[in-house]
Structure 1
Amino acid sequence: MDKSKVNVLVVGGGGVGTIAAFNLEAGGLAEVSMVLRSNYQHVKIHGYSIESEDHGSISGWRPTQVLDNVPKSHSDDTRKFDFLVIATKNIPDNGTPLVEIVRPAVTRSTSIVLLQNGLNIERPFISAFPENVILSGISMMGSREIETGVIQHIGHDSSLIGVFPGQKVQEEIGIKTARDFCNIYSAAGKATCVQDFDVPWSRWRKLIYNACFNPICAITGLDTGSIRLADDSVETLIRPAMEEIRTCAAAAGHELPEHIADIILQFDPIEMHYVPSMLEDLRRGNLIEYENILGEPLRTGQKLGVPMPTISFLYSICKAIQWKLRNEGLKTKVNGQ
């Protein structure tokens, strides 16, 4: 290990996690270990093939270490991690809680970056690791693993890093940690990484996209361009869902611009025909990420007395889809396929 560099563990080697890991090492200030699952053997042998808007074409790239499980660290261990970056999908209804999976790698000096979508994702981490800084990571890039070990990165890598509220750690320590991570992430000069001083507001803003386009595209089987071309889907499905999220955010104390729906509707060029991650997962038969992007805002709305009929409908459909995916997976295991 190079002691002049920070030691970073990235859990999750899909589209976002891989670009984050590559960019961290490209800046020369970090050594990255990655914990992989289904693509572990391929990446261990062949490395990643990456087509990136920011970094160009890369073949056979591997981080400093490729791991198939979360390593165990101790405070006096030379392999302890300065940062733990979690870039997996957030599926709380899927087996062992994520905090328990990563616990072996966390020491008192480890700062945790949740590079994930949704609301209230920090709560189990703040509870499990009260002495550690827990940072919010909001990524605005489009990146996906189109086949095993092959990453397609479209859209500039732009991230917001900030301190989740409600922690025991002193605020100034959290702010400094966020600033340090931004500096490390920006060192390669390819990505934009800035500090986020209003994490809840930023997360509600991203929900305008994630809680609307993600489930609607998954349920209909249409990409973000096609769904906007499909008769009156924008006015009967997408915009109502966006307005419900905006209204709920305001009730929770986070005022988003009145015209935010118009801005987010144009986020993906219509000719791009971008496939959101939930639709991608559904096509692959993977479990979908819906609790933190639909369930949490819906439950917040219920507590605050905000009607959210469209979000409620989308949540119920996604819950049924998850049941179907889980049961199909069980049948596959029983049949030995």
Structure 2
Amino acid sequence: MDSTKSNILVIGFGGIGTMTAYNLEAGGRATVTGVLRSNYDLVASRGFRIWSCDHGQVESWRPTSGMNAARPVRNKADMMIVTKAVPDARTMASPFDYIVVCTKNIPDIPPTVAEVIAPAITPRHTSVVLVQNGINIEKPIIAAFPENVVISGISLMNSSELRPGEIFHQDHDNLIIGAFRNPNLDIETECRAAKLFTDLYNASEKATGEYSAEVQFMRWRKLVYNASYNSLCAITGMDTSKLRLTHTAVTELLLPVMLEVKSVARAAGYQLAADQEDISLNGDPLYGYFRPSMQQDIEKGNFMEVEVIVGEAVREGQRLGVPVPMLSTVYSLLKVLQFRTKVNKGMVELPPMKDFGAGNIVEVSKP
């Protein structure tokens, strides 16, 4: 490995993770190792196909090396060994400087983020960058790795995986970066690590890495959008444009949820803009027909980030004495959908159906 480059592990190669990793390598100041999951076999054989508004069309791209969870494979494109296992830092010649986590943050579905990244962590050296949605996501990471810097990454780009290994990136990559406060470390150390990562992200001159010391404020601001649009698009099956064109969805659903998030943020000490709900409501082009991540997840039969986006907001409201009736209702509906996904994936064993004496009728009616 080039010792002049930062050694970076990226975990999660969906739409956001792939573009994050590609941009880091495009800057020439990072060597990226990728942990791939469902798309590993396809990407190992032919690489990613990328259509990007920032980087143009890219064919057959692979990170410097790629990983997931079982067997080693020879990557013919760059002659690097790729494997399917999160690397063990104890066996590596050079530790990872940064671990960038771009997976969904779903603490109610094992394994947890802390469990996934644990083998690759070098105490007092590796910084963990959480490019994930939600609030309070840093707490379990700081608890598991009290000697390591934890950095917030708020991605504002719209990028999705159209098919396995095919990425469509349709608006500018803007990543807001800042250190979460770890009481075990000095602020200077945390800020230095966050600012260096910002420099690495800006090195490509194609994307924007925006350093901000107001990490929690930025996360609450994005939550106004995510807790409303992300949740309600998933529940209704309608994209952002269709939802906005339904007047009652705006006045009776979107705006009430946004206002509740603002109220909880204010009670937590974060004064969002007076018109933040209008900014969030109209942030996407009216005719953009965007499908937020939770809607895409439910359509694919995947788990959603229910807890970090909505559950934590509800719990913060309860802790601070702020009424959140709409958020609580949305949370309950999302948990029902999450349970359905667990059933469909065979994670819940349901009791057999009782025939109530109609067994013969049921048998006769079977195709």
Structure 2 length normalisation: TM-score? Answer: 0.89
Q: Is 1:135 equivalent to 2:151 in the alignment?
A: yes
Question: Which residue of 2 is the match for residue 15 of structure 1?
Answer: 15
Code of the residue aligned with 1:50 in structure 2: it is I
Question: Which residue of 1 is the match for residue 63 of structure 2?
Answer: 63
- Give unpaired runs (5+ residues) of structure 1: none
Q: Per-residue CA shift, 1:23-72, capped at 9, x if unaligned?
A: 00000000100101100001111100011111111110001001112110
Q: Is 1:208 equivalent to 2:224 in the alignment?
A: yes
Q: Per-residue CA shift, 1:239-288, capped at 9, x if unaligned?
A: 00000000110001000011001111111101110010101011110011
| Partners of 2:146 and 2:182 within 8 A in 1 | no
How many Å separate the matches in 2 of 1:332 and 1:262? 41
Code of the residue aligned with 1:270 in structure 2: it is L
| Partners of 2:141 and 2:150 within 8 A in 1 | yes
Code of the residue aligned with 1:52 in structure 2: it is S
Q: Is 1:81 equivalent to 2:101 in the alignment?
A: no
Code of the residue aligned with 2:113 in structure 1: it is L
Residue number among 174, 193, 217 corresponding to 2:190 in the alignment: 174
Residue number among 135, 138, 152 corresponding to 1:119 in the alignment: 135
Code of the residue aligned with 1:6 in structure 2: it is S
Q: Is 1:93 equivalent to 2:108 in the alignment?
A: yes
Which runs of structure 2 are paired with 1:158-173 in the superposition (5 Å)?
158-173=174-189
Q: Is 1:292 equivalent to 2:292 in the alignment?
A: no
The 3 A distance-change label for structure 1 pair 160 and 58 is: same
SS in 2 for 1:162: strand
The 3 A distance-change label for structure 1 pair 332 and 166 is: closer
Question: Which residue of 1 is the match for residue 330 of structure 2?
Answer: 314
Question: Which residue of 2 is the match for residue 33 of structure 1?
Answer: 33
How many Å separate the matches in 2 of 1:94 and 1:86? 16
Q: Is 1:106 equivalent to 2:121 in the alignment?
A: yes
How many Å separate the matches in 2 of 1:243 and 1:39? 39
| Partners of 2:86 and 2:117 within 8 A in 1 | yes
More displaced 10-residue stretch of structure 1: 163-172 or 285-294? 163-172
How many Å separate the matches in 2 of 1:89 and 1:172? 29
Question: Which residue of 2 is the match for residue 279 of structure 1?
Answer: 295
Structure 1 length normalisation: TM-score? Answer: 0.97
SS in 2 for 1:307: coil
| Aligned positions, number | 333
| Partners of 1:73 and 1:106 within 8 A in 2 | yes
How many Å separate the matches in 2 of 1:79 and 1:331? 39
Q: Per-residue CA shift, 1:163-195, capped at 9, x if unaligned?
A: 112431110011111110000110010111111
Q: Per-residue CA shift, 1:136-174, capped at 9, x if unaligned?
A: 111100111110000111111001111112431110011
Code of the residue aligned with 1:27 in structure 2: it is G
SS in 2 for 1:272: coil
Q: Tell me the C-alpha RMSD between the 2 structures.
A: 1.4
SS in 2 for 1:172: helix
Mark the structure with the bigger radius of gyration: 2
How many Å separate the matches in 1 of 2:149 and 2:181? 10
- Give unpaired runs (5+ residues) of structure 2: 69-84, 351-367
User: Cα offset for 1:77?
Assistant: 3.4
| Partners of 2:223 and 2:309 within 8 A in 1 | yes
How many Å separate the matches in 1 of 2:347 and 2:212? 44
How many Å separate the matches in 2 of 1:286 and 1:318? 13
Q: Per-residue CA shift, 1:51-98, capped at 9, x if unaligned?
A: 111111111000100111211012x83242110000000000111222
How many Å separate the matches in 2 of 1:331 and 1:124? 24
How many Å separate the matches in 2 of 1:79 and 1:86? 19
How many Å separate the matches in 1 of 2:12 and 2:179? 21
How many Å separate the matches in 1 of 2:306 and 2:157? 19
User: Cα offset for 1:228?
Assistant: 0.2
Code of the residue aligned with 1:66 in structure 2: it is G
Question: Which residue of 2 is the match for residue 43 of structure 1?
Answer: 43
Q: Is 1:260 equivalent to 2:270 in the alignment?
A: no
User: Cα offset for 1:331?
Assistant: 7.6
| Partners of 1:126 and 1:167 within 8 A in 2 | no
User: Cα offset for 1:332?
Assistant: 11
How many Å separate the matches in 1 of 2:18 and 2:185? 29
User: Cα offset for 1:333?
Assistant: 11
Q: Per-residue CA shift, 1:186-213, capped at 9, x if unaligned?
A: 0010111111111111100000111110
How many Å separate the matches in 2 of 1:176 and 1:81? 16
Segments of 4+ moved more than 4 angstroms: 331-334
